[in-house]
A = this chain, B = another copy of it.
Amino acid sequence: MTENRFFLKDAKEHLGKTVEVKGWVYNKRSSGAIIFLQVRDGTGFIQATVVKNEVGSEVFQKASEATLESSIIVEGILREEPRSPEGFEITVKKITLVDVVKDEYPIGKKDHGPDFLLSNRHLWIRSKRQWAILRIRSRIFQAVEDFYQKEKFTRFDTPIITPNACEGTTTLFELDYFGQKAYLSQSGQLYLEAAIASLGRVYDFEPVFRAEKSKTKRHLTEFWMTNCEMAFCDLEENIKVQEELIMYLIKELLEFCQQELKIIERDLAPLKNIKAPFPRLSYDQCLKKLHELGSDIKEGEDLGNDDETILMNHYKQPLFVTHYPSEVKAFYMKKDPKNPGRVLCADLMAPEGYGEIIGGSQREDNFEVLKKAMEKNKLSLKDYGWYLDLRKYGSVTHSGFGLGIERFIAWVCKLEHVRETIPFPRTIYRMSP
């Protein structure tokens, strides 16, 4: 980096040395002639101990004036301190008050309702728990990129502004594009299918948009999805790649996010026990299981949120549900040659009650079959002609899937609601700040 700035993340390497921490006061207590400032610098947390007898009255005065969330620079000696949660503390020698907060900081120790916290999301993200979740998110993003690059995928950024819909037309955000109607992308999948004939194996990782009026704990109107698409790949291989991706992400999480997982008090045992290959149920088997578990889902219906919850409360491993009826799945999925009423698809459900995190399938590669499916779904050949072209010029067996990253994070962090997994969540009721 441009400077040899000390960061709290590297505290272990600086024990016994004089360090300078540039950060914010997130907590404070005093005991007569000692003030304990809890300081964070973005990479970690530390207790800075200010002893009046040692620092003199001027520095001690500054410590007294440092209110919650004031920005501050503390200089002092970094020591081991087993009693502090981080295992270290700083014996302060010098303090620079950068900006002292005069008003009371809005987010206090008392309980705030979700609406208040979301309205103050720009401040709420400073809390230790939110910090930890956002750090985990960042690491998961990095791990997704690493996985795909290591497996010889090429990144292929699919467009957001599109003239047509991929996943049903009722949940599209409409846009005025210089006088034409356009829509925000719900998935880059169709475009990735075009890319495989150039690049073989491709992925995207970007925000997608669904104007769903769902108020569940699993829905955001703007969320991040990573899709991949593979040439010369069938359903079976597609499932294996998903297993490898999930196992890789969990491994990276457990290796690099120990501090963060501790802060959010995630029970690690269920994550450590995840093992591929994951169990599978066909749609028909799944319905039977759901009926046993008390669901009233009917033959031919898609799984609802509640079905996913009761099903996945029952599983300790992620579960593939495969071979859905073609009616409840998208037009582009390949019909099962052994059972044309079913498609060659697999959804991955997360355990501990979390439900669907991945949707994937083998794609229809036959020109005539796809054309008929498009006509049946009233998709215009003017808009989708390019997609049909892909079955005209060198069609191949191909498959892919999309992982909803917020749902994945909600599961691995064991969060109540997906809204805490993204910096500024967008829901039906909220698009600010």
- Identify the A interface with B (CB < 8 A): 1-3, 5, 7, 9, 22-25, 41-43, 69-71, 73, 98-99, 101, 103, 105, 120-123, 125-126, 130-131, 134-135, 137-138, 141-142, 145, 149, 151-152, 154-164, 173-178, 180, 182, 184, 191, 194-201, 206-207, 209, 211, 213, 221-222, 224, 231-232, 237, 240-241, 244, 365, 383, 386-387, 389-390, 392-397, 422-424, 426, 428, 431-433
10 closest A-B pairs by beta carbon, nearest first, are A42-B200, A2-B240, A386-B433, A71-B394, A122-B194, A138-B155, A159-B424, A99-B395, A22-B232, A122-B386
Kindly state the separation between the CA atoms of A167 and B261 in the bound complex, as whole angstroms.
37
Give me 9 other A-B pairs in contact (C-beta within 8 A), A42-B197, A157-B422, A386-B432 excluded: A22-B232, A69-B393, A99-B365, A101-B392, A122-B194, A160-B209, A164-B432, A195-B423, A383-B432
Of B41, B152, B160, B392, which contacts A9 at CB under 8 A? B152
Q: Is the CB of A99 within 8 A of B394?
A: yes
Q: Is the CB of A244 within 8 A of B426?
A: no
With known contacts A142-B155, A180-B431, A122–B423 Cβ distance under 8 A: no
Q: Is the CB of A198 within 8 A of B431?
A: no
B contact residues around A392 at 8 Å (CB): 101, 103
Kindly state the separation between the CA atoms of A182 and B175 in the bound complex, as whole angstroms.
10
With known contacts A126-B198, A423-B195, A424-B191, A241–B99 Cβ distance under 8 A: no
Q: Is the CB of A135 within 8 A of B428?
A: no
Name the residue on B nearest A178 (C-beta): B428
Q: Is the CB of A176 within 8 A of B178?
A: no
A147 to chain B, nearest CB (A): 11
A/B interface sample: 17 pairs, CB < 8 A: A2-B240, A7-B152, A9-B152, A42-B198, A42-B231, A69-B394, A71-B395, A98-B394, A122-B389, A138-B156, A162-B431, A162-B432, A163-B431, A163-B433, A175-B175, A177-B431, A182-B431
Of B130, B145, B200, which contacts A43 at CB under 8 A? B200
B contact residues around A164 at 8 Å (CB): 432
With known contacts A152-B43, A155-B138, A162-B431, A393–B105 Cβ distance under 8 A: yes
Q: Is the CB of B123 within 8 A of A389?
A: yes
Name the residue on B nearest A424 (C-beta): B159
Name the residue on B nearest A44 (C-beta): B200
Kindly state the separation between the CA atoms of A405 and B392 in the bound complex, as whole angstroms.
33
With known contacts A122-B390, A160-B207, A423–B191 Cβ distance under 8 A: yes
Q: Is the CB of A155 within 8 A of B178?
A: no
A426 to chain B, nearest CB (A): 5
Kindly state the separation between the CA atoms of A60 and B126 in the bound complex, as whole angstroms.
68
